[in-house]
Amino acid sequence: MGTIFHLDIVSAEESLYSGPVEFLVAPAQMGEVGIYPRHTPMLTRIQSGMVRIKAPLKDDELVYVSGGMLEVQPDVVTILADTAVRAADLDEAKAIEAKEAAEEAMKNRESEIDFARAQAELIEATAQLSAIQKLRKRGH
């Protein structure tokens, strides 16, 4: 394989990407990681953010992911995401609404569990809005 490897991005709902890629950039727990063919095997958690995929003879493709794992083998990379959405399918109005609802829930919390859930929802909505802003800057 040498200059390409196989990538699978899978969420609980569906398989979002399966095919050959030249490289990818993913939001790992300790920061962004770039993966090229024959990368050293690795297993890490992913955080909310964009996966940038460069497939042979195609423009970059962007997929928003949140939570899950990234597994790297020399010729196969797998992203098992809690949430995965193609960049073009991100909904800014929905993300803003979710962010506002989470902020309100954090103000009116009734228990620590409610607060933790609202905080997680706020982080998710903020990450989606950040991804949408990055897309705008790139002209997507």
Question: What digits encode the pLDDT tens for the residues 53-72?
Answer: 999 988 888 898 988 999 99
If asked whether residues 26 and 74 sit together in one domain, one would say: yes
For the domain that residue 95 is a member of, what is the CATH number? 1.20.5
Contacts of 72 (CB under 8 A, 6+ apart): 35, 39, 40, 41, 42, 43
Indicate the number of domains in the chain. 2
CB atoms within 10 A of CB 71: 14
Spell out, as residue ranges, where the chain has pLDDT lower than 70.
1-2, 90-92, 95, 98, 109-113, 135-136, 138-140
At residue 103, the pLDDT reads 75
Contacts of 77 (CB under 8 A, 6+ apart): 5, 6, 7, 8, 21, 24, 35, 39, 70, 71
If asked whether residues 26 and 71 sit together in one domain, one would say: yes
If asked whether residues 115 and 51 sit together in one domain, one would say: no
Residue 20, both tokens: 């050959």
CA distance 97 to 24: 31
Long-range contacts of 112-121 (CB under 8 A, 24+ apart): none
If asked whether residues 25 and 81 sit together in one domain, one would say: yes
If asked whether residues 17 and 52 sit together in one domain, one would say: yes
At residue 128, the pLDDT reads 73
What mean pLDDT is reported for the chain? 83
For the domain that residue 19 is a member of, what is the CATH number? 2.60.15.10
If asked whether residues 84 and 104 sit together in one domain, one would say: no
Neighbour-count burial for 16-32, b at 16+ CB within 10 Å, e otherwise:
bbeeebebbbbbbeeee
If asked whether residues 10 and 79 sit together in one domain, one would say: yes
If asked whether residues 81 and 121 sit together in one domain, one would say: no
If asked whether residues 20 and 75 sit together in one domain, one would say: yes
The range of the structural domain enclosing residue 35 comes to 5-88
User: Has this prediction a pTM greater than 0.95?
Assistant: no
At residue 6, the pLDDT reads 97
| CA end-to-end distance (rounded Å), the chain | 30
Q: Are 132 and 96 in contact (CB under 8 A)?
A: no
